[in-house]
A and B are shown apart, each in its own frame.
Chain A
Amino acid sequence: MNRFEHIDDHGLIDLIAQGDLDAFEGLYDRYASKVLKRCYFICLNATDARDLMQEVWMRVFLRLHQFQKQAAFSTWLYRLTTNHCLNFIKAKAQASNVEANIEAISPPPQDPTQTAEVHHLLARLSIEDRSILAMKFMGEYTYEEIATFYGIGVSAAKMRVSRLIDKLRKEVRT
């Protein structure tokens, strides 16, 4: 049995602050899969997603003392993940002057229908669209923050998110 199973996130963070590395492992076990999915959503490349996840966890360790415990740890973690991944794809796009490395997308073979469709749908979205979705649903940025970041109106930001979600909804329900 996992000895951290009954300790909540804040409890684990307290233990980590006391130098308990096993507690950090407990935190990793709890969230690694979720972080990996979020990294993949943004970069759409399995190797990059794994590398980004590693970097995210380094940053979690380095910055954990900054976490104020006023919000859920997951909120802080996913915001950090979002920012790190968005900075990565921005730097990558600038370096290669291309929007995305679509060739590297490799849908897992388990489900040839819906899974593959979702991968292809995400690949068809622009980096900006995926970034907006990531900011909204992973980073929990407000519409006002998204609008400011992209230089659009708040209602335009809401409309864009709503339109993108409608597209995704059709795909996951078919």
Chain B
Amino acid sequence: MNNDESFVFEQVLNALDLPEPDLVTKERIMKAVYLLMVAKEIGLFHVSIPGTLLDDTTYE
């Protein structure tokens, strides 16, 4: 990849000057991940995850 072009792209992302992700979002994610982990451990994984979560490995 062209390093100069990548550098410009990173500069653009930085220039957006977005606020840092908030703590509420982080807590929500961590809670969800915890529940996923528990579901996985007790064998509910396959019924607890909506199908839409499983089909985004590629951009179609």
B-contacting residues of A (Cβ < 8 Å)? Answer: 19, 21, 24-25, 28, 32-34, 36-38, 40-41, 46, 49-50, 53-54, 57-59, 61-63, 80, 82-84, 86-87, 90, 108, 110-111, 114-115, 118-119, 122, 133, 135-137, 139-140, 149, 161-162, 165, 168-169, 171-172
The yes or no answer to B49 lying at the interface (CB within 8 A) is yes
Report which B residues bind A (CB closer than 8 A). 1, 5-6, 8-9, 11-22, 25-26, 28-30, 32-34, 36-37, 49, 53-54, 56-60
Which of A28, A118, A135 contacts B30 (CB under 8 A)? A28
Q: Is the interface of A mostly helix, strand, loop or mixed?
A: helix
Determine how close the nearest CB of chain A comes to the CB of B31; give it in whole angstroms: 10
20 contacts across the A-B interface (CB closer than 8 A): A28-B29, A32-B26, A33-B21, A37-B16, A37-B18, A40-B16, A40-B18, A41-B16, A58-B53, A62-B36, A62-B49, A62-B53, A83-B57, A84-B56, A87-B56, A108-B19, A115-B16, A165-B9, A172-B12, A172-B15
